[in-house]
């Protein structure tokens, strides 16, 4: 496994973990449509969901650099909001392919961040908070 593949896989696992709090607190799109299930551990994901997580991680790595930061630094609200929207955009290819942990019934097209129910926006903000409390996330110029 080359370093880029390993980094992508590690970020995919972290990306999946970043959704744990949102699933546990009911802050996801699937909760807003009444199709939620308990959090699925990485080792229990179906292959398509893993592929979706890895595809999202690859897009995040294309757009951002992640540098570990000391514990205890709190991210700003604008930083959380910006990364939350970017995370949502990076997951678009996986959503459009149905490579998600929960496939909605009936399937739904990708929804722009601005049109998400507030509960789903909160879930994305939780994910952004997860990353920003661990990493300095810097946008790559031109990405």
Cβ count within 10 A of residue 19: 21
Three-state DSSP at 68 gives strand
Token digits for 44? Answer: 């229990």
pLDDT tens sequence across 115-131 = 999 999 999 999 999 99
What pLDDT is attached to residue 1? Answer: 56
Task: Measure the CA–CA gap between 138 and 115, rounded to whole angstroms.
Answer: 26
CB 121 within 8 A of CB 113: yes
What pLDDT is attached to residue 71? Answer: 78
Cβ count within 10 A of residue 41: 10
Q: Which residues contact 2 (CB under 8 A, 6 or more apart)?
A: none
Q: Which of these, 117, 55, 66, lies nearest to 89 by C-alpha position?
A: 55
CB 65 within 8 A of CB 137: yes
CB 109 within 8 A of CB 97: no
pLDDT tens sequence across 1-47 = 567 788 999 999 999 999 999 999 999 999 999 999 999 999 999 99
What pLDDT is attached to residue 58? Answer: 97
Domain ranges of the chain: 3-139
Read off the pLDDT of each residue in 102-120 and give the average, rounded to a whole number: 94
What pLDDT is attached to residue 142? Answer: 83
Percent of the chain with pLDDT over 90: 87
Cβ count within 10 A of residue 6: 10
pLDDT tens sequence across 73-87 = 889 999 999 999 999
Task: Measure the CA–CA gap between 13 and 5, rounded to whole angstroms.
Answer: 12
């Amino acid at each position: 496994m080359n370093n880029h593949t390993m980094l992508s896989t590690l970020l995919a696992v972290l990306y999946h973990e970043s959704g744990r709090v949102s699933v546990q607190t009911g802050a996801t799109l699937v909760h807003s449509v009444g199709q939620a299930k308990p959090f699925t551990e990485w080792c229990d994901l179906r292959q398509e969901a893993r592929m979706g997580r890895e595809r999202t991680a690859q897009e995040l790595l294309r757009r951002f650099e992640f540098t570990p930061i000391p514990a205890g630094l709190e991210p700003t609200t604008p930083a959380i909001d910006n990364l939350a929207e970017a995370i949502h955009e990076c997951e678009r290819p996986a959503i459009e392919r149905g490579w998600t942990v929960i496939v909605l019934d009936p399937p739904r097209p990708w929804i722009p961040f601005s049109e998400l129910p507030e509960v789903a926006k909160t879930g994305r903000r939780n994910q952004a908070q997860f990353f920003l409390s661990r990493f300095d996330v810097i946008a790559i110029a031109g990405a």
